[in-house]
Amino acid sequence: MKPKITLTDVNMKILQTVFGELEDLANVVTTDNDAEETLVQETGDADLLIVCYAKVTRRVLQAATDLKAVLKWGVGVDNIDLAAATERRIPVVHCPNYGSDTVADHAFALMIALARKVIDLDRTMREVAWMWPAQANTAVDLSKKTIGLVGFGRIGKAMARRCAGFGMDIVAHDPYVAGAAEEFGQVTFMGLEKLLRRSDFVSIHCVLTPETAGLIGEKELSLMKPSTFLINVSRGGIVDEAALVRSLETRQIAGAGLDVFVREPAAQHNPLFRMDNTIVTPHFAYNTIEANDRLDREALQKAKNILRGNALEDVRNPEALGSSR
């Protein structure tokens, strides 16, 4: 009898490029919605749960009597109760290798669009057909400016390479990256407060954990220069969204490019959407044809390894391995 895979996030259409191969591997059940009760019912007899944004709670994991693993279609696992998974000896496997350059591209696109006022110029041109130089529509160079990278993992390093190519000075803050200074000689590592004071652009590339939740709040935003732009393609919860709104409204900072929000899907009334000094996108930094194909392939291979009992890679809770329940 084939194993059962429960697949969530019906709107995301995850694993569609390899769905035939997935069905050869197992009986695949796609949930109608991501409500906790639905996941409890559909995961109870599942061998593998594959999720993107759906919340995998303690209750869902406790109901999963046969679950071999939870597989995240993506990188961040902040929607999965890792502590509960570890208690149940359920490994949580993610896919960190498919899109570092892709996400860095998007962060860089937001940065250059902010610097060159691309959205404002486009909007005004469509309204009035032409404009003349004025202080309000004059852009800034990237060359010789300082980019501050908060987090220096795969995506942070990819962002550093792009910024180096544009002649930017690169500073970074990441207490968990050992040896990065030697690998990236052009990067200066420093404390967060010093980075915020110095940077012309601050780009966030750390994961959301209890330690990083609200990492950029009222105090941190107040340290930034009035000319500084903030870019976030990581997780909305790393930034205190209410404090960011106040900083943008008062021009305490120059602007923000945001691909992620505290609440997703975001609400239409989010004040960040009506500001003229923000660029907002719907958590699409990963979303290219090529990256989606790579992610599907990476997830499919990990699903095969899980169901065939092979050695697992990229386990976010390695404590769950090697013991019986």
CA angle 210, 215, 217 (to 5 degrees): 130
Choose the catalytic residue: 249, 264, 290, 313: 264
CB atoms within 10 A of CB 228: 24
CB atoms within 10 A of CB 65: 11
Choose the catalytic residue: 218, 283, 297, 319: 283
**Residue 71 is inside which H or E element, if any?**
strand 69-72
Return the half-sphere exposure (C-beta side, CA atoms, 13 A cut-off) of residue 103: 29
- Please report where in the chains the tokens 């995998």 appear, as a residue: 56
- Please report where in the chains the tokens 């960040």 appear, as a residue: 272
The single-letter code of the amino acid at 188 is T
Kindly state the tokens that stand for 8. Answer: 């969530």
Round to whole Å and give the CA distance between 113 and 115. Answer: 6
The single-letter code of the amino acid at 110 is L
Distances (CA, A) of 107 to 98, 155, 217, 277: 16, 9, 20, 16
- Are 22 and 303 contacting, i.e. CB atoms less than 8 angstroms apart? yes
- Please report where in the chains the tokens 């759906």 appear, as a residue: 54
* DSSP β-ladder status, 255-258 and 187-189: unpaired
CA angle 233, 238, 242 (to 5 degrees): 105
264 belongs to the catalytic site: yes
Choose the catalytic residue: 235, 241, 294, 298: 235
Among 37, 262, 35, 198, which residue's Cα sits nearest to residue 272?
262
The single-letter code of the amino acid at 87 is E
Distance of CA 56 to the CA centre of its chain: 18
Which residues are known catalytic residues?
235, 264, 283
